[in-house]
Structure 1
Amino acid sequence: MKATLMLRKVLPTFWVNKWVDMAKTKSNFMFSVAILVFCNLVTKILGAVFRIPLLKILGSQGLGLYQLVFPLYAFMLVISSSGISVALSKFVSKAISVQNYKLAKRYLKCGFFISLVVSLLCSGLFVAISPLLAKYQGNEGLVYCYWIIFPSIVFSSLSSTLRGYFLGKNEMAVTGGMQIVGQASKLILSLIFASYFKKYGLIYSVAGAVLGVTVSELFSFLLFGVVYFSKRKNAKKFCIEAKVKKNEEILPANSNIFKKKLFLCAGDKRNPSSKTIAWRLFKFAFFVSLQACIIPLTGAVDSAIVVPLLVRSGLNGTMACTLFGLEDGIVSSLINMPTVVATSIGVALVPNIKLDADNHLVGEQNVSESIKLVWLIGIACAFAYAFFARDIVSFLYSGGLSGKVVQEIDVLENLIKINAFNIVYLSLLSLSTSILQGIGKSKIPVVNLGICAIMRLLLLCVLISVKSLNIYATALVDMVFYSLSFILNMVAIKKWASFSFGLGKIFVLPAMCCFAMCFVMKLFKISLSGLMSAKIVTIIMVLLGIATYFSLLAITKVLNIKKLLSSLKQRRKSK
């Protein structure tokens, strides 16, 4: 504060304000990342924990049936909610930055209407094709699961609309907290219903678990509504619409200048019609939704073709369904968990980068630091998964694996080892997609992902028919899909950015730190094996590995931890 006052005496006000805004932006960025990482990590952990008791209740075959329902559900949900949520967060934040709270609410109303219409259309399509899909998947009883879960598409889409509104207001704690509450309610209700209906048969138990998802989504939506109206009542007296003169550009509080044609135009365009608002939201959301659909679409295609292709390769239906349940229900969740860091950083990064008038990347330092951080965390998780795959399986799922159909522990161990480095590729793919969206090049990741998804499908059809590969082919094609998509994205990003990384600091030293981390963890495991329970040893081993890795990164100066902590402290002081 003293430094700011001194600078005001010797420097022009414009430059002092710019310096202060840059400091606030940096601390706000790190603070937003911290909140989003924490909330998303808790949600991911709850999702992984959810599958442990669910596996014990349903068994591996029941879990396979449960997973057959969700790829199509996730695909419909992405269509109906992802694009509108991102669009709302962007336009609401712009309206709030100029204190136009009335316009922000109008964006919310239009977004709510669009989300309702699209989600109802998706739900209708979902119900219409579910009998055919259930028959194709080899279990017509799944149609009841499809009918039970279709209302949750509407509830979840409307919740996502409110989430986008609160993100636009920069209320990260609300969105993150509601995400945790929703996941926790899903865990509790699904397990209760699955246990209750188990006495009627396996398919009824699976339907009970699906019913828990629908009820939890309804609960989350109602709770979100309560929070919204509560905050609306408290903030009503502060809703003062800003006055903007005709033909003037708007300068928001964070010093990012939005031209008239990109946002709120002056004069008669200050309060656009509802039709104009709806068109803005829809146009912006289209490519975001299209890009977000591709990976869930690959999952939906997998749920439709993997089991039949495994059966054609010589496996029986029960074995094929079990293998698919292990790969899609367990391994995918474990691989996706570490990517929460990349997702959180990407969400926080998008508003903080742009292209200037000369088509150069503004916020290049944030981009390079984000890529570096995602890489360091991703490669550490990949090494840990590869070296300790069996320990992970034994710790989490040994109680729910019967081994009656296949040697499930061995299959899971091999799948995790093959998929380990997909953590790195998927994390970097997610971040690079966010970077391209942040600089206004949202069409590029759509094209890149689309091309690579077609290649993935062709490879999958060829490789999965090889009897020696069977389910392991899914891990191999995912590796090609994620890595090639990331490379294509980075080639595009390099057109506008000139950041570079030292080979030693970003590749050699982190790899050495990862090997050292795994060595310490292995040594600790061998030393205490037999002295205490395996689960306690695993927990301590993981904590020791984390401490060892980050200590080595700090010692080798690969990661400046003090700098990261100081950014968070700046946020507290700025308050």
Structure 2
Amino acid sequence: MTQRQRSLIGGISVLGVAGIICKVVGVLFRIPLTHIIGTDGLGLFQQVMPAYNLLLAITSAGIPVAISRMVSHYVTIGEPGNARRTFKAALKLLTILGIVSTVILLLLSRLIATLVKTPEGYLSYMCIAPSLFFVCVMSAYRGYMQGMRRMMPTAISQLIEQVGKVAVALPLAAIGFARGGEETGWIMGSAGALLGTSLAECVAMLYMIIHAHFVKPLPPQPNEKPVSGRELAKRIVRISIPITLGACIVPLASTIDSAMLKSLMMGTGIPDDIAGRHYGVYSGIVITMINVPTAVAMAMSTNLVPSIASGLARKDMKYVAREAGIGLQVASVVGFPCSIGMSLLAKPIVYLLYGSNAKFTPEELMLAGNLLEFSAMTIILFTMVQATSGILQGAGKQKIPMLTLVAGVVCKVILNAILVSTPGISIHGAPIASLVCYTVSMIPNLYYACKYSGYRFSIPNIILKPLAATAVMGVVVWAVYNFVFGGIQGILSADFFRRLVIVALCIAVGAVVYLIAAILFKAINPDHLPARFRPKKKA
């Protein structure tokens, strides 16, 4: 395996591990936050996120990918000066976008809060608004570093964000709740938590700026043809627009879900308060849990963009095909066990994290477990969608994943309207619609990713071998959970620490069994492992 290929695996590992840690911290963060500001405060905190995430996607989703791709291209063809100029042009664009988006959210905070039926939440919108500027500026540096194949700074900045949330947001939430008193404590507490989030983003941004200051740029080559900042800005915008539109689709779909699902359930005769709580279970528990393993998918997409762009810049199609193949293989090797593992351990995980929370009734916890069992199947699909999107974006075909995701979301909306409004199915139709959404997006993505990378899709390597290893893992985990720990009855009768032991041991056993099975079935190439775990080759 070449050094470049190892850098792809290494980059995925670095960002993947950091991403999973961040997702886990994000899940755990909400538990003490709920105890501090109460369920009303947490609801207000969650209510701010759709509008914020939509603005964040508009301002900072596409440009970092464009920077990464263009920087990788210029470095590969021996024009590091143009790579640096690309970064400077993008930094100007993102700084302007960050300022504009922050001002817009500040000015419209009362209007948005009124539109989403929480007029008391305008202060929360104002407190999160500055983070739009911080994230925009930080994303310019992240895109530049990723284009240079330096993934560690991005990983560290992500960890700083999450640690900052715990270290700053929780104390500010407590201070806000105390100052607000019984009447407005939940409002002030939510605002304090979101202000802490903004401060954490600020610290992460400062880290990226300081780190970049100490990274010595590659010297311009004498035969370089400098590209003007205006021309580079045009290219950045041209590349980033389809990616940005695609990134807006998911938060837009979440906003549509929040508007549709509750009313659809009420149409089947479910009371208003019950429908609201069922939607809260789906969005607050199930979707949050599904997002944890998808961090690896995001890491793959981030790493594949500069890798594919670099190979195409050298016109080395064999390298491009190999990188695409490795990306798809890693996606399946990670996605299959995450899907099956989370599905098998759905109820233990739900009861471990939320079983002691008085906010949820036993019926709602069981509902969350049932929904998570099925929703976990979307992990492998989402992982493949992200991997293929990274390949296509690196190949300059960024419109394709945008269009396929639009098609998937349209199917999701239609199926939600049909299934959730059907008595007896109700909220259980939402994960079915999501499964169809990502399937519709994945199939054409996979076809075009193979077409433009030159990779010949291998059913044994991408599907059969990882699936066989996953099946072995699934049988062992199911047996340990049911015969050793007593299945769901063992979970229901256990306290928090016993639940923690059950979940931890099941995950540990599953990980070891899967790794052994994957090596035996040759789903994992030993060359893909870190150097310390690779078998030594005889001279």
1:449-507 CA-to-partner distances (Å, cap 9, x unmatched) read 11221222232234333454443332221111111111121233344442221374354
2:456 to 484, 494, 498: 498
Instruction: Give the structure 1 partner of residue 375 of structure 2.
Output: 419
1:140 aligns with 2:124: no
Aligned pair in 2 of structure 1 residues 493, 28: CA closer, same or farther (>3 Å)?
closer
Deviation at 1:60, TM superposition (A): 4.3
Q: Is the 8 A contact 1:65 1:206 kept in 2?
A: yes
Deviation at 1:327, TM superposition (A): 2.0
Instruction: Give the structure 1 partner of residue 476 of structure 2.
Output: 516
The worse-fitting range, judged by mean Cα deviation, of 387-396 and 58-67 is 58-67
- Where does 1:332-371 land on structure 2 (aligned, <5 Å)? 332-353=287-308, 362-371=319-328
1:543 to 483, 508, 521: 508
Q: Distance in 1 between matches of 2:77 and 2:348?
A: 53
Q: Is the 8 A contact 1:517 1:549 kept in 2?
A: no
Deviation at 1:315, TM superposition (A): 4.7
- Where does 1:197-346 land on structure 2 (aligned, <5 Å)? 197-199=176-178, 200=180, 201-229=185-213, 231=214, 235=216, 240-244=219-223, 270-311=225-266, 314-315=269-270, 318-346=273-301
2:29 to 37, 50, 61: 50
Deviation at 1:546, TM superposition (A): 1.0
Instruction: Give the structure 2 partner of residue 378 of structure 1.
Output: 335
Q: Is the 8 A contact 2:408 2:439 kept in 1?
A: no
Instruction: Give the structure 2 partner of residue 9 of structure 1.
Output: none
Deviation at 1:219, TM superposition (A): 2.4
Q: Distance in 2 between matches of 1:363 and 1:98?
A: 15
Instruction: Give the structure 1 partner of residue 395 of structure 2.
Output: 439
Q: Is the 8 A contact 1:355 1:361 kept in 2?
A: no
Instruction: Give the structure 1 partner of residue 407 of structure 2.
Output: 451
Instruction: Give the structure 1 partner of residue 172 of structure 2.
Output: 193
1:463 aligns with 2:428: no
Aligned pair in 2 of structure 1 residues 409, 569: CA closer, same or farther (>3 Å)?
closer
Deviation at 1:86, TM superposition (A): 1.3
1:390 aligns with 2:347: yes
Aligned pair in 2 of structure 1 residues 321, 223: CA closer, same or farther (>3 Å)?
farther
Q: Distance in 1 between matches of 2:265 and 2:108?
A: 23
The worse-fitting range, judged by mean Cα deviation, of 301-310 and 113-122 is 301-310
Q: How well do the aligned residues superpose, as a CA RMSD in angstroms?
A: 3.1
Q: Distance in 2 between matches of 1:508 and 1:101?
A: 45
Q: How many positions carry a matched residue from both structures?
A: 520
Q: Is the 8 A contact 2:60 2:139 kept in 1?
A: yes
Q: Is the 8 A contact 1:383 1:518 kept in 2?
A: no
1:7-31 CA-to-partner distances (Å, cap 9, x unmatched) read xxxxxxxxxxxxxxx7221222222
2:355 is paired with a residue whose SS is: helix
Deviation at 1:215, TM superposition (A): 1.9
Q: Distance in 1 between matches of 2:414 and 2:458?
A: 34
Q: Is the 8 A contact 2:105 2:129 kept in 1?
A: yes
Q: Distance in 2 between matches of 1:65 and 1:316?
A: 21
Aligned-partner residue type, residue 465 of structure 2 = K
Instruction: Give the structure 2 partner of residue 565 of structure 1.
Output: 529
Instruction: Give the structure 2 partner of residue 16 of structure 1.
Output: none
2:503 is paired with a residue whose SS is: helix
Aligned-partner residue type, residue 507 of structure 2 = V
1:480 aligns with 2:445: no
Q: Is the 8 A contact 1:432 1:490 kept in 2?
A: yes
1:359-388 CA-to-partner distances (Å, cap 9, x unmatched) read 977532332333233223222222222222
1:485-534 CA-to-partner distances (Å, cap 9, x unmatched) read 11121233344442221374354453244223332344342499979833
1:400 aligns with 2:379: no
Aligned-partner residue type, residue 542 of structure 1 = I
Q: Is the 8 A contact 1:425 1:482 kept in 2?
A: yes
Deviation at 1:307, TM superposition (A): 4.1
Q: Distance in 2 between matches of 1:365 and 1:495?
A: 13
Aligned-partner residue type, residue 240 of structure 2 = A
* TM-score under structure 2 length normalisation: 0.87
Aligned-partner residue type, residue 506 of structure 2 = M
- Where does 1:48-197 land on structure 2 (aligned, <5 Å)? 48-97=27-76, 101-127=80-106, 130-197=109-176
1:55-96 CA-to-partner distances (Å, cap 9, x unmatched) read 333444543332221122111111111211112222233444
Instruction: Give the structure 2 partner of residue 5 of structure 1.
Output: none
Deviation at 1:198, TM superposition (A): 2.5
2:118 is paired with a residue whose SS is: coil
Aligned-partner residue type, residue 216 of structure 1 = A
Q: Is the 8 A contact 1:61 1:322 kept in 2?
A: no
Deviation at 1:172, TM superposition (A): 1.5
1:337 is paired with a residue whose SS is: coil
Q: Is the 8 A contact 2:81 2:221 kept in 1?
A: no
Aligned pair in 2 of structure 1 residues 372, 283: CA closer, same or farther (>3 Å)?
same
Aligned pair in 2 of structure 1 residues 320, 123: CA closer, same or farther (>3 Å)?
farther
Aligned pair in 2 of structure 1 residues 153, 550: CA closer, same or farther (>3 Å)?
same
Q: Distance in 1 between matches of 2:120 and 2:428?
A: 28
Aligned pair in 2 of structure 1 residues 139, 323: CA closer, same or farther (>3 Å)?
farther
2:387 is paired with a residue whose SS is: helix
Unaligned runs of 5+ in 1: 1-21, 245-265
Q: Is the 8 A contact 2:347 2:369 kept in 1?
A: yes
Q: Is the 8 A contact 1:291 1:445 kept in 2?
A: yes
2:222 is paired with a residue whose SS is: coil
Unaligned runs of 5+ in 2: none
Deviation at 1:413, TM superposition (A): 0.9
Q: Distance in 1 between matches of 2:405 and 2:27?
A: 26
Aligned pair in 2 of structure 1 residues 242, 162: CA closer, same or farther (>3 Å)?
same
Instruction: Give the structure 2 partner of residue 259 of structure 1.
Output: none
* TM-score under structure 1 length normalisation: 0.82
Q: Distance in 2 between matches of 1:360 and 1:174?
A: 29
Q: Is the 8 A contact 1:84 1:282 kept in 2?
A: yes
